[in-house]
Structure 1
Amino acid sequence: MTRSPSDILASAAQEYHDRPLFKIPRVDPRSGNITEYTSISYSQFAADVDTYARHWCRILRKDGVARGSVVGLWLGGFTTTDVLHIYGLSRAGYIPQLFSLRLPNPTVIYELLHRANAKALIFDHSYKHLVDQCPIPCHVAVGVDAVDPRNEPLPPRPVITAKDTLFIFHTSGSTSGSPKLVPCGYQWLVSTVQKSHLICRPRDRSRQDVTAWMGSMCHIAQEFMLIGAIQHGTCIVQPTKPGFDSAELFDMVGRCGLNRLNQFGSYLGGHLRNSHMDPKLLHVLKSLDDVLYTGLALPVEEERWAVSSGIKLRNLFGNTECGAMLLSVEGNPSLVKPLEGFSYRFVPHFNTQPEPNAHQSSGRLYELVILSDSPDCPAPSLRHADGHFHTGDLFREASNGRYIPHGRDDDWIKSENSLRCDTKSIEDHARLHCKALIGECIVVGSGRPSPAMFVEPSPSSANEDPERLRRKIWSRIREFHGKRYLHESLIPELIIIVPAMSLPRTATKGNVRRQAVEEAYKGNLDQLYASLATKARR
C-alpha cells in the first residue's frame, strides 16, 4: 500500500502548516501589470482539497458514478483551482483522466474517454458550448467560491494497491496523430516520489525554496514537479503564462523570493538570449540556486554560454510515460546519466554503425530502453513485444555511463533512397549560425530525395522579405551543407519561410511537430520537389 498525491499533500500540510504553497499574481485588467501576489498556505490548500473531494463525491454519487471510476478532467492545468479539482477528485477515490485545453475538439476527448471507460467529465467553463453532445454525465469545473460540498461526509482515504491506477495522462500524439493513454499507478507514484525528491531537493535547507510553475498539471512534468516541491515544503509561484517574459522573472525574484527556476528549454532559451544583452538579468540568473530545464533541448552554444557565465544549469531528461529518467552531470548540461535505482539499458540503434570515413552524422547511436524490472517501466500496454519500454530517444556515449542526447528516432528520417538523414544536426547548425534570423526551424523530407527546412523568422526578421531572408540563411549554412551527403544536404530552394508561430506544435512543451508539418505542407512539398525534379531533367 502507498499514498496518493493528496495524502502526500496532507502530510506536508502537517509539517509545513503556515508556509505558503502557492503565490498567485493579481493582474490589473487595464494595464496588464501584476499588482501583488497573494499566498495560499499548505494547510489551507489541503483543506480545500478535502472540500473539493466532498463536492465531487456528492455530485458524482447522484450520477451513479462509483468510487474507483475514471473521471475525465478537461482543464488548462495552470491554476490552483485546476489542482484542487485534480487532487480533490483523487482524494475522493476517483481516477482523474487529464486533458489539456489545447486538444482541438470534443471528438478527440470523447474517443479517449471511451478508451479509458470513463464515467463522467469535468470541463473548464470556456468549453461549455462544446460539450452539449457529451455521451456521459458532464459538469463544469467550479471555483473555490462556488464549490458546494453541503453535508457530504469526507470519504475514507482510498487504499491503493499495486494493481490500482491513480491517474491517466496522454502522450502528445506528435508521431501517431492520436494521443495514447498513459495509465499511472502504484509503481509510478513510488518512482515519482523517489525521483522528484532528489530533483527538487533544496540547496539550502535553512530557507524555503521558491520556484515557478512549469506547465500544465494535465501533463506529467508539472505533476512530477509539484510532488517534488510538496515533499520539501517549497513555494510555487504561478506565472501569468507558461512562457513568461524576463520582466516577470525579475518580478518573481524581487517580490516572491524565487530562488530556483524549472522551465521547458523553449522558454528558458528566451531568458538566456535576453541575458546576453541585459547584465541585470544575467545577474539574476546567476543568483538562482538552480536553473533546471527539460523538454526541448537548448542550443549547444546557449548551454556553454550559461555555464561559462556562472548560471547553475541542469538538464533533466524525461518523457510522459516514465517521468524523469536522466539528469545532467554537474557542470556539464550536455552530458546526462541515469538516475540511480532504476533499470535502464542503452542498446545500439539499427543502421547507425560507424562507416569507413564516417561523416559527422553516421556514428553509432544508442536507444534508451526501460527494462521491465525497472520501477518506472510504464504499463504493459505501452511496452514493446519484448516486455521492455523502448523510448525512441537516441544518445551517443561520451564516456562510460554518460551520454549526449541526440534527438528521437523520429528525428532521423529516411530519404527517398532509404538512407538516413539526421535532421537534428541540420536544425542545430542553422540555429547556431542564424540565431538572429531564425525564431524556430524544423527539417522534414521523409521519403524525399533530400531534406527541406521550414523556418519561422525571429522577431527582428519578421518583416523581412522572405526571399531575402532565405538568401541570408543560406549564406550562413552553405559551407556546412557542401560537406554532407546529397541525401542530407539542403539547397536554397528547400528553405521555406513561413510566418512566426504558424507551424503545428505539441500542447505540452511547444515543440514543433515534425510529422504534423510533413502532413500540413504535403501539397506544397509535392509541388516543390516536382518542380526541382523537372529542372534537374532539363
Structure 2
Amino acid sequence: MTSNSQQNLISHLSVLYESASRFAAETAFLIPHERNGDRKQDSSWDTVTYDQFLNDVERIPGFTYLDLLHIYGISRAGYTPQLFSIRLPNPAVIFELLSKTNAAALIYHDSFASNISNCSVPHFPVSSLPHLLSSKELGYLPPLRAPGPNSVMFIFHTSGSTSGTPKLVPCTGKWIDSMVRKASVVARPRAASGRDVTVWMGSLCHIAQSFMMIGFLRHGSCTIQPSQIAFSSDELQNMVHRCGLNRLNQFSTFISSHFRKARENPKFLVDLQMLDSILYSGLPMPQEEEDWAYKNGLKLSNIFGSTEVGGMMVSIDGAGSDAALLRPLPGTAYMFEPTVTEDNGRQFLELIILPESPDCPVESFRQKDGKFRTGDLFMEIKPGCYKFCGRNDDWIKSENSLRCDTRAIEENVLQVCGDLVDSCIVVGTGRPSPALFVETASNIDHEQLKRTILERIQPFHSRLYLHERITSTSLVIAVPPSSLPRTATKGNIRRQTVEVAYRALLDNVYQDIKVLG
C-alpha cells in the first residue's frame, strides 16, 4: 500500500477536524442541562459547537458528554481505544480482554473504583484526567496522520459472549474508512435547511451509535443526548419542539413504544409525521406496526448491520410497496448464497461479505476462503432487494438489539444439570433477558428444581453480559418430558415455535419481573 493510498483513507478524526473547520460555530451536540449534579432531563439542553467539541477532544475536560471525548481524545493522542460496555460488569472478563490486547491503561468511571483492585495495568478514574492532562510534562499532541489500511484504530467487542467471553473486534484503517463512507450515505441530510438535528441511539461502546455518530459529524449535524436510551415519548416531544429534532434514530423496540402512544394521541402522531426520518435498527419491526407507520405517512427507514461489519443494508424508503425492502450500501461487495433451514426446509439466502469488500472484518472472523459468513438469512423479493428472515444459528437479539448465544447457555445447563434436565431451549428474542425452558428428568418439585438450576448455572452466567444472564427463577420454566415442539427430521426443539406457543406465558413472566424490578 503506497503512502498516497493511505492518505486517501478517512478516519473518525479526519471527519472531526474537517467538520470543525466547515461547521465551527454550528451546534454539534445538545446535552441535558445539569442542576446540582442531577442529569435528569428537564426540558433544557446545553449547546456544544463543533469548534468547542474539537477543543474538548484535544484537552478532555469534565463535561457530560465525557464518553465521546475520552474515545476521540484517546484516539487523538495516538492510542487505540478498546471500548467496554457497562453491560459487561464482571471485572475478571474485562481484565482478560485487556491482557489479550496488551492494553497500556484502563480509564474507568469513578463508580467502578471498587471493581478494579486486581487490574494489572495502570488505571485512572475519569475524574483524575482533567488534572493529569493539564500537566505540561505531557507535551503536545502528535501530528494527525492518515491511518494505514491495516492499522488497528478501535477495538470493539461482539455484543454477545462466546463460551463466557466476548470476542475482540479490531477495526482497521481500511474498515474505518468504509464506515465513514457508508455512514455518510445513511446520515445524508434530510432537512430543508441542510442541517439535521438527530439523537443519540445507544452506547458509543457499541458499533451502532459509533457508526451513526461518524455519519452525522461528517455532515455537520446536531446530535441531542437524551436522558436515557429508552427515552419517553414526552421527552421526544420536547426534543422536537425545543431542539428542532427532525431525525429520530432508535432501536425498533423503543420506537414501537412511541407508535403505541401515537395511536392514542393525535397531536403526538402529528409530531412523528413532521419528522424527516424515523430510522430503526436491531430487531425487525413487527409487521402490524410497520404497516401502521406507512399508512399514517411516517417516513420510516431501516438499517441492517452488525458489530463485525457495521451498517450493511438500508431500506428503499418512500411510500411504495417496496419501501421496507433492504439493499446493500454502495461501495460494498456482498453475495447472497442459497441455504436451507432445518426448521422448516425453506430455502433462504445467507448474506456473505466478500474479502474484497472494504468492510470485511479481520481474518480471525473469516472462513478459509476469506469470506465472512454473517449467518443472516434473507429472501430476494425483487432483483437486488431483500427481506430479512432471521438467522441460521443459535444467536438471538435482546430488547436492546444485543446478541445472546443461546446454545452456550443450553450446553452449560445440560453440563451442570444433567441429572435434573432431559433437554432445554433458551428463548427471548426482543426480551430484556433470556428465558430457559427445561424438560424435567426427575420428579423433583418444580420450584426446587428451578432454584437448583439457577444456583448451578450462576458461575457461568456471572461472566456474561447483563442482557444474556438468567437471574430469576421466574425465567426458568419447567415442562414435562418431550412436550416442547420439535423438528420432524432430527427432533431438535424448535426455538421460534416455542417463542410463539408460550408467548402469553412469557409476556406475563417479563411483566411480573418488570413490576418487581
Normalization by structure 2: what TM-score? Answer: 0.75
Selected match of 1:498 from 479, 485, 509: 509
Q: Establish whether residue 369 from structure 1 lines up as the match of residue 352 from structure 2.
A: yes
1:385 aligns with 2:389: no
Superposed CA deviations along residues 253-308 of structure 1, whole A, max 9, x for unmatched, are 11110000111111111111111111111111110001101012211111111011
Change (3 A) 1:215 1:32: closer
Shift in alpha-carbon separation, 1:122–1:115, aligned structure 2, 3 A = same
Q: Work out which of the residue numbers 111, 115, 122 in structure 2 matches 1:130.
A: 115
Partner of 1:349, secondary structure, is strand
Distance 1:107 1:117 in 2: 15
Specify whether residues 351 and 288 from structure 1 end up closer, same or farther in structure 2 by C-alpha distance, changes over 3 A only: closer
Aligned to 1:22: 29
Query: Quick one: which amino acid aligns to residue 133 of structure 2?
Result: D
Could you tell me which residue of structure 1 aligns to residue 81 of structure 2?
A: 96
Q: Structure 2: which amino acid aligns with 1:399?
A: K
> Could you tell me which of 12, 15, 18 is aligned with 1:8?
15
Q: Which residue does 1:75 correspond to in 2?
A: none
- Displacement of 1:427: 8.7
2:190 corresponding residue in structure 1:
203
Count how many residue pairs are aligned between Structure 1 and Structure 2: 427
Residue 105 of structure 1 is matched in structure 2 by 90
**Cα-to-partner distance string for 1:90-121 (whole Å, 9 max, x where unaligned):** 01111011101121211010111111121211
Q: CA contact under 8 A between 2:377 and 2:389: conserved in structure 1?
A: yes
Whole-Å Cα distance in 2 between the matches of residues 448 and 403 of structure 1? Answer: 41
Tell me the equivalent position of 1:339.
329
Q: Which AA in structure 2 matches 1:132? A: S
CA distance in 2, matches of 1:502, 1:344: 42
Letter in 2 for 1:9: L
Q: CA distance change for structure 1 residues 147 and 24 in 2, over 3 Å: closer, same or farther?
A: farther
Distance 2:253 2:387 in 1: 19
Pick from 197, 222, 246 the counterpart of residue 259 of structure 1. 246
C-alpha deviation, 1:230, in angstroms: 0.8
The two structures, once aligned, show a CA RMSD in angstroms of 3.5
- Partner residue in 2 for 1:229: 216
- For 1:129 and 1:398, locate their aligned partners in 2 and report how far apart those are by CA, in whole Å: 54
1:39 aligned residue (38, 41, 47):
47
Structure possessing the higher relative contact order (Cα contacts under 8 Å, 6 or more residues apart): 2
Answer yes or no: is the 8 Å Cα contact 1:79–1:238 preserved in 2: no
Kindly provide the CA deviation profile for residues 389-435 of structure 1, in whole angstroms up to 9, marking residues without a partner as x. Answer: 011111122222211111122369999xxxxxxx99x999xx9xxxx
Give yes or no for contact 2:150–2:174 (8 Å, CA) kept in 1: no
Distance 1:40 1:159, change over 3 A: same
Paired with 2:428 and 2:381, the residues of 1 have a C-alpha distance of 21
SS state at 1:179 partner: strand
The yes-or-no answer on 1:49 pairing with 2:60 is: no
Q: What SS does structure 1 have at the residue aligned with 2:84?
A: strand
* In structure 1, distance between residues paired with 2:288 and 2:128: 45
Q: 296, 316, 319: which one pairs with 1:309?
A: 296
Q: In structure 1, what is the Cα distance between the partners aligned to 2:512 and 2:338?
A: 36
Query: For residues 135 and 31 of structure 1, what CA distance do their matches in structure 2 show?
Result: 33
Match of 2:100 among 110, 115, 120: 115
- Shifted more, 128-137 versus 325-334: the winner is 325-334
Aligned mates of 1:394, 1:31 — CA distance in 2:
41
Identity value in percent: 42
SS state at 1:135 partner: coil
Give the 3 Å change call, closer, same or farther, for CA 42–395 of structure 1 in structure 2: same
Matches within 5 A, 1:307-456: 307-331=294-318, 332=322, 334-351=324-341, 361-410=344-393
Q: TM-score, normalised by structure 1?
A: 0.72
Please tell me the residue identity of whatever aligns with 1:90.
S
Contact 1:121 1:137 in 2 (8 A): yes
| Contact preservation (8 Å) 2:106, 2:123 | yes
Distance 1:111 1:350 in 2: 38
Task: Measure, in 1, the Cα distance between the counterparts of 2:173 and 2:438.
Answer: 40
Gaps of 5+ in 2: 1-5, 396-405, 411-424, 442-473, 478-484
Contact 2:76–2:141, Cα closer than 8 Å, also in 1: no
Equivalent residues of 2:32, 2:42 under 8 A apart: yes
**What is the CA–CA distance in structure 2 between the aligned matches of 1:447 and 1:81, rounded to whole Å?**
48
Distance 1:333 1:263, change over 3 A: farther
- The reply to whether residue 269 of structure 1 matches residue 269 of structure 2 is no
Q: Report the counterpart of residue 523 of structure 1 in structure 2.
A: none
Checking the alignment, whether the CA contact within 8 Å between 1:6 and 1:88 is kept in structure 2 is no
C-alpha distance in 2 between matches for 1:133 and 1:41: 40
Cα drift, residue 345 of structure 1: 0.8
Per-residue CA deviation, residues 339-371 of structure 1 (Å, 9 max, x unaligned), is 12211011122446xxxxxxx954211111101
SS of residue in 2 equivalent to 1:110: helix
Conserved 8 A contact 2:155-2:171? yes
Distance of 1:338 and 1:91 partners within structure 2: 32
Checking the alignment, whether the CA contact within 8 Å between 1:92 and 1:157 is kept in structure 2 is: no
What is residue 72 of structure 1 aligned with on the other side? none
Q: Distance in 2 between matches of 1:324 and 1:175?
A: 22
